[in-house]
Amino acid sequence: MRSEPRFTMPATTASATRSPTTPTTPTTPTTPTASIRANAGDDAERLSATAGFVREQDTSVLLSRVLPGLDGPELRALTDQCRFAHAAVLVFPPDEHALRTDLAACGLSADGQAQPSVVVRDRLAARHRRDPADLDVRILRPVVRGPADERRAVEVFALTVPPGSGLSRIAEEERGLDHEAHLAFDVARPDPLVLRGLLASFARHGATADGGGYNPHEDGTVFYFTAPADTKTAYRRVELYAGGDHRDVLTEHLGRPLASAGHPRPPGGPQPAETLLWLLTGAWTTQALAACARLRLPEAMNGHTGIDGAELARAVGAHPESLATLLRYLAMLGVVSEGPDGFRLTGVGALLDAETPGSMRPLALMYGGPFYESFAHLAHTVRSGRPGFEHLHGENHFDHFARDPELATLFDQSMASSAVMFDLLPAHPVLTAAATAPGRPRTVVDVAGGTGELLGRILTAHPTLRGVLLERPQVLAAARTYLAATGAGERCRYRAGDFADVPPGGDVYLLSRVLHDWDDDRCRSILRHCADAMPRHADLLIVERLLPADTAPSLATAWDLHMMCNTGGRERTADHYARLLAEHGLELAGHTPLALGAHALHARRP
């Protein structure tokens, strides 16, 4: 169980500016803006719609709608780090008595005096070219309860519009565009590293920085975003609230220096030396996660809502003081959290538990072990163009793993750890069409398909399909065991061999996370073998991460460096794959996003 974070509201003195943006059309009935606009003249309806929205929302679902590109693990991480706190609405009562009457009609109770809202007042004045002194804007935060009885609020901004006043036109325009409507999330563990990760996640999925500020009166920092263009809510503005003074992080968010009375900062923003120091600690993070996995801390903590550090040290056989230091660092990363009852796993930390479905423990051991060692030779790779892994071990990583059964097993398990990227693939139109085609059963050929994780998912989702798995002899035994456990083993044939042995006669061919292991010449050879085996009607599905066409943050950019250093391979853009496919008579018909930054590329003969 996750403990609920302290309920805090955003700073009323934090300022931000933004350009007017028309909210997008809502896509679900729970988005209040549709009913708000339909009843533009009735503030009670607007308040009621917003209150209903706040009461109904699940944080995870709402985050997935605000940032539609979130994959499963990243969504779980964000959900563990922040909670939906409130939605804001701007209304236009003739006086405060009318406002409270409307609130009462919606079942909203606002105790205490409404306070001036300088931020909204100044934004309205700037947009409508009015003297701020002419605008009486107040703020109230009536409390509502969420689905799990968590404390939330409706943030009500009220511009007083007396009957017959010249402010009616402002009210009409603002009701139609809802500039001040926004969603807010509270950050549960607001340390700088977590905040930077949250801000990076929002930016990576298309949200753009839209102001922010620090309120010394309540010691809290606000980060504003404009939602991405493909957001699935009608809200175009999103707020993150973090308790404490985080003006250094805020300066980075704003992309410019931020004045901060009483807290001098170096001119021009954060010190480059501090930024570099944070970047240099990346290796420590890798080893901390690997140590967490090796010590089996997640398994020892599983089932505990809180466990004392000394008790945990006894459970895993660790030195108590040293473990306490590691736990403090893991808490900063959001892998564990500390409360009155001791330490507990977060959603991120649970993925390092070997027994968790979709466990990523093998990845932590690989990245903190063999691949960590080879990355020490990255400079050699850049100088010579040869993989650091080969420089370290004197052979390529496939041959090296093949001679070490324990390491080979760990590698196969680490590949399966990322199987969440396959969640959406069985529903791909190519596979659905093959499964529903009349006549004979269609066959899916998985080339270098590992232990059968992907093929098993496809055959389980489509009982009419048959499968062929091409793999190295030493991997096929594990694949038979895995596929038998899925119940799809009887519909699958197994073929031992390499890329030259791609079986002919299939209807759909799969190359999942294969091509990025190799340079272009080797990719051409693999694609030639596939094209030669494919009947005229067959389709090819390639699962890979795609490099962005610009400098946008991407998992593919990180994996491009990894492949270069460890296998001599690379990630590629969609256009690059299209050129390689065209050399063998195949065209790239399109590509669709999957989880973990992957894409399914569909190729076929013209």
- Beta-carbon neighbour count of residue 537 at 10 Å? 9
Cβ–Cβ < 8 Å for 75, 32? no
Cβ-based neighbour number of residue 63 at 10 Å: 26
Q: Which residues contact 459 (CB under 8 A, 6 or more apart)?
A: 444, 465, 466, 467, 483, 486, 488, 491, 492
Tracing tokens 């805020």 back to the chain, one arrives at 250
Distances in Å between the alpha carbon of 86 and those of 7, 25, 30, 333?
10, 20, 14, 26
* Tokens encoding 224: 């504003």
Query: Are 371 and 381 in contact, with CB atoms under 8 Å apart?
Result: no
Cβ-Cβ contacts under 8 Å for 128 (sequence gap 6 or more): 170, 173
Point out which residues pair with 292 in neighbouring strands: none
**DSSP one-letter code for 572:** B
Q: Are 9 and 241 in contact (CB under 8 A)?
A: yes
Rounded distance, CA 97 to CA 248, Å? 42
- Of 279, 367, 350, nearest to 2 by C-alpha is 350
535/507 Cα distance (integer angstroms) = 7
Catalytic residue among 516, 591, 599, 602: 516
**Alpha carbons 473 and 9: distance in angstroms, whole number:** 60
Question: Residue 253 catalytic?
Answer: no
Q: Token pair for residue 297?
A: 């801390």
> Rounded to whole angstroms, how far apart are CA atoms 497 and 533?
14
Active site (catalytic) residues: 516
